Structure 1
């Protein structure tokens, strides 16, 4: 596989997912190629994500925020009215919908 960037590999995954979703009859002749290319693309994406997570963890540790990248949350800062009233909802990844098509 020639894809070297996350973007290229992700596009391969998206293209193959769309192909598999839209075919009316399984094309068994192309399936092995699709699977092999998808596995290679997944490995590239996984490698890039792991590298970014590691760099982020190292940056947070050096900034003294070592627990932040593992989903641990610091104590909330008081809001404008001295901590009274409703807290601001979280904007973390836990609140996001997972709309990944595969």
Structure 2
């Protein structure tokens, strides 16, 4: 399961990079493509942000658990 989540993060992060590159390299952006691109980028960002928050919460929980364990060892 971790691999599919990681792949999802990587896929969505790559999509964000692709859209940003396309926007920065285009002299003129087709207005008909803009809204779908923004929608796609928003979805990709939300997936990435959600994953980052989940990893951060897991790390904080692990750190707190490790701190509790070392406090009990003393």
- Please report the TM-score for the alignment, with normalisation by the length of structure 1: 0.58
Query: 1: distance between equivalents of 2:17 and 2:54?
Result: 21
Match of residue 62, structure 1, among 55, 62, 65 = 65
Q: Which runs of 4+ in 1 moved over 3 A?
A: none
Which residue in the other structure is 1:7 paired with?
10
1:29 aligns with 2:44: no
Residue 49 of structure 1: CA displacement? 0.2
Higher helix share: 2
Higher CA-based Rg: 1
Q: Which protein has greater RCO, CA pairs closer than 8 Å, 6+ apart?
A: 2
Aligned length: 62
CA RMSD of aligned residues (A): 1.4
Residue 27 of structure 1: CA displacement? 1.5
Superposition pairs for residues 28-47 of structure 1, below 5 Å?
A: 28-47=31-50
- Please report the TM-score for the alignment, with normalisation by the length of structure 2: 0.79
